[in-house]
């Protein structure tokens, strides 16, 4: 599948897009956490940002309550958007 990263995720990964063979959203998140330097894992898990990520699969926003149930296939396009901070 094609994975498109936005915001801090793109900054940490150093790429805009990547490919993955993950079959579920939780597996994709775990793959991202271990595929890049420790900042990615820390951002996703230690700072508990997984819950606040906006996840879009094939153009449709995945509700927070359904993130653990999302199954993915080879032709899917997953967009991961980190929350915007500021104040």
Q: What pLDDT is stored for residue 85 in this prediction?
A: 64
pTM exceeding 0.85 = yes
Q: How far is CA 64 from CA 19, 51, 69, 77, in A?
A: 23, 7, 10, 18
Cα gap 56→47, rounded to integer Å:
21
Domains along the chain with CATH numbers: 2-81 (3.10.20.30)
Query: Residue 86 pLDDT more than 60?
Result: no
pLDDT digits (tens, 9 = 90+) for 5-42: 999 999 999 999 999 999 999 999 999 999 998 999 98
Tokens 């993915």 -> residue = 72
pLDDT digits (tens, 9 = 90+) for 64-79: 899 889 999 999 999 9
């Amino acid at each position: 599948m094609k994975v498109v990263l936005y915001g801090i995720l793109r900054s940490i990964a150093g790429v805009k897009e990547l490919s993955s063979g993950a079959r579920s959203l939780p597996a994709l998140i775990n793959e991202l956490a271990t595929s890049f330097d420790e900042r990615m894992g820390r951002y996703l898990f230690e700072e508990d940002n997984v819950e606040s990520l906006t996840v879009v699969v094939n153009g449709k926003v995945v509700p927070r309550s359904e993130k653990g149930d999302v199954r993915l296939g080879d032709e899917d396009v997953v967009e991961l958007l980190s929350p915007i901070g500021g104040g």
